[in-house]
């Protein structure tokens, strides 16, 4: 995706927020990003690459990722620190049947931030056996996210943070539920629809449909959208998202996998909107059960929880994000790790 993302793109938005705040602290930041990226801020430079291939051809995606890493490798001596937002497995490649990992060729201090859970779950044995990668420093976005790779000696948890002040607070919501994310089975959009129907509430879905999920959307989700109780508004920009979140009675988050973080949860709470979520992944770390929302295990439990959502103090939701998930705190924690790398 481009930097900044036009609509969907939590990782890219994190990169922008971190880069701008680092520049404000007097650091010079260079972002290697997809073609079409533009960030006009003093102290931040963008190096554009070719456009990212589509998900239709995974082999082309891998070539693009390796070329990105090679480009950074060739310029590494221009920087004091290199911070990758790619998992190490991405840098693995074969030459004449011999396996290499490009990370091992970097001589300047490197920080690697994990954002994806899938790459971890599929490759735990790779990380255990390749001890040459243990010398690097790693960050994870939640304790649950870090758990499978807790054997890495230099690893830290840094929660995602947002500029809370850019999310409008609302203590008088309307009477609808909302679901934001991607339309894909692991995000739980079908479960969100079931919850709305059980609770007798309107559901507004704002979500991106990737190429790989188009058939799923057309066959499974679209037939349930009636434009009245179940409404689909497509992918939304930041302004539209804030309005949708702040006016919602609550955000439903029926995630079906161990999502590392789920940034939409803190975006909702920043607006004062509580969350009802399944007990998966980072959810127990992000939601304070009974105070900023409810953590449940089934569709019926989620529907039942909606009837008591008004007991949640919306101001406390906002304060929770200001305390634990603000962009300044996130940046300060990364700076602490950077200093550690330079010692």
Residues 6+ apart with CB under 8 A from 184: 210, 212, 213, 216
Q: What is the residue extent of each domain of the chain?
A: 53-161+326-342, 164-324
pLDDT digits (tens, 9 = 90+) for 269-287: 999 999 999 999 999 999 9
Short-list 286, 303, 301, CA closest to 249: 303
Q: What is the pLDDT of residue 52?
A: 59
- The domain covering 53-161+326-342 belongs, at the CATH homologous superfamily level, to Glycogen Phosphorylase B; (3.40.50.2000)
Using only C-alpha atoms, what is the Rg of the chain? 21
Residue of 92 and 202 predicted with greater confidence: 202
Please provide the CATH number assigned to the domain covering 164-324: 3.40.50.2000
Asked if 53-161+326-342 and 164-324 have one fold, the answer is: yes
Distance from C-alpha of 31 to C-alpha of 29, rounded to nearest angstrom: 7
For 96-124, what is the mean pLDDT?
88
* Reported confidence tier of residue 49, pLDDT bands at 50, 70, 90: confident
* Reported confidence tier of residue 258, pLDDT bands at 50, 70, 90: very high
Short-list 9, 52, 34, 55, CA closest to 211: 55
Half-sphere exposure of 154 (CA within 13 A, CB side): 17
């Amino acid at each position: 995706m481009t930097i900044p993302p036009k609509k969907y793109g939590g990782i890219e938005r994190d990169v922008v927020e971190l880069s701008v705040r680092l520049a404000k602290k007097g650091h010079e930041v260079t972002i290697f990003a997809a073609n079409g990226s533009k960030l006009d801020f003093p102290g931040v430079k963008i190096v554009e690459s070719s456009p990212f291939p589509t998900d239709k051809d995974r082999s082309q995606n891998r070539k693009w990722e390796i070329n990105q890493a090679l480009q950074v490798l060739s310029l590494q001596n221009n920087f004091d620190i290199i911070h990758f937002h790619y998992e190490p497995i991405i840098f693995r490649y074969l030459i004449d049947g011999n396996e290499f990992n490009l990370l091992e060729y970097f001589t300047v201090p490197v920080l690697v931030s994990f954002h994806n859970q899938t790459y971890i779950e599929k490759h735990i044995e790779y990380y255990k056996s390749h001890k040459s990668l243990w010398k690097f420093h790693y960050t994870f976005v939640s304790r649950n996210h870090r758990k499978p790779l807790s054997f890495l000696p230099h690893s830290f948890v840094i929660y995602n943070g947002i500029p809370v002040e850019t999310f409008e607070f609302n203590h008088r919501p309307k009477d609808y539920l909302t679901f934001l994310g991607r339309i894909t089975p692991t995000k739980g959009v079908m479960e969100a629809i079931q919850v709305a129907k059980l609770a007798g509430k309107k559901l507004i879905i704002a979500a991106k449909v990737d190429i790989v999920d188009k058939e799923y959307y057309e066959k499974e989700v679209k037939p349930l959208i009636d434009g009245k109780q179940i409404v689909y508004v497509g992918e939304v920009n930041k302004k539209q998202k804030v309005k949708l979140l702040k006016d919602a009675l609550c955000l439903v988050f029926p995630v079906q996998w161990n999502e590392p973080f789920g940034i939409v949860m803190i975006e909702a709470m920043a607006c004062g909107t509580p969350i009802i979520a399944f007990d998966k992944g980072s959810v127990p770390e992000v939601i304070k059960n009974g105070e900023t929302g409810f953590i449940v295990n089934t569709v019926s439990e989620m529907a039942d929880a909606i009837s008591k959502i008004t007991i949640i103090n919306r101001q406390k939701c906002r304060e929770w994000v200001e305390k634990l998930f603000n962009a300044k705190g996130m940046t300060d924690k990364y700076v602490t790790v950077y200093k550690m790398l330079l010692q």
